[in-house]
Amino acid sequence: MTDLPLPAVRTVADLRAAVRGWRQAGERVAFVPTMGYLHEGHLSLVKLGKQRAQRVVASVFVNPTQFAPGEDFEAYPRDEARDAALLASAGCDLLYAPTVEEMYPQGFATTVWVAEVSAPLDGIARPTHFAGVATVVTKLLMQCLPDVAIFGKKDFQQLLVIKRLARDLDLPVEIVGGPTLRAADGLALSSRNAYLSATERPVAAKLNEALRAAAAALKDGATVEEAEAEGRATLEAAGFARIDYFEVRDADDLQRLGPGPLVGPGRLFAAAVLGKTRLIDNWPV
């Protein structure tokens, strides 16, 4: 690739050659996988990578296998030049932007599936999603072979899936979760926020408000069942067209908690559709 503000490669061979050179120089490598159309949340992961390694690779790849038919694969926002400029500003050393053909060559026939933590929440709402995520992340980690890989906690279930696959497959990489960055009104930063209209944008912030209110209610003694019902009612009243889930789960294995009072730490998870935008978020309790 040319005319980009940082070095960039499209092939596995070129990626491995770059990483090999750094390793021969005794440098640690951090890896930040993304689907592009970057925001400050992504850049915070790059900066976290810089704290843990001398070199940072970021990938930009809109992965078709994690989109079901009828989802927004074709419409997903893309702007490679913009992404490259943002990565350069955050101190990224290399952009890896493979083609679909490089990632899934003709005859590709392998799927990685992580049981248990993939099953609830988005595993129900998007049944094929995590097989696509686990497969592409396994490939990316094996292609780059970093010392550490950084993933955002906004996609908390995804983070648990990736931690499990790295452990189960003995991948020689440390998986680190980076904090969720938010707008001033609490909305978690997301590439899909670009879909929100001017009238939908303030409504979208109600998702995080509902999560925080549910967490406070649980702390004050409300049952899990009551907090979940109130959260769903809040989102319905705000104008969300569909609520895929609003649930309290164990933060380590995503087992169901409740319906009585919360015993021990957990995490609230929510996914809801506003207009044409599906928003997800989570909050500790």
Q: How far apart are CA 229 and CA 189, in angstroms?
A: 26
Q: Is 42 a catalytic residue?
A: yes
Nearest to 244 by CA among 214, 275, 280, 213: 280
Contact predicate 53/148, CB 8 Å: yes
Q: Which one is catalytic: 15, 18, 19, 42?
A: 42
Q: How far apart are CA 278 and CA 107, in angstroms?
A: 33
Contact predicate 269/224, CB 8 Å: no
Cβ neighbours of residue 255 under 8 Å, at least 6 residues apart? 249
- In sequence order, what are the beta bridge partners of 280? 271
Nearest to 158 by CA among 138, 130, 132: 130
Catalytic (active-site) positions: 42
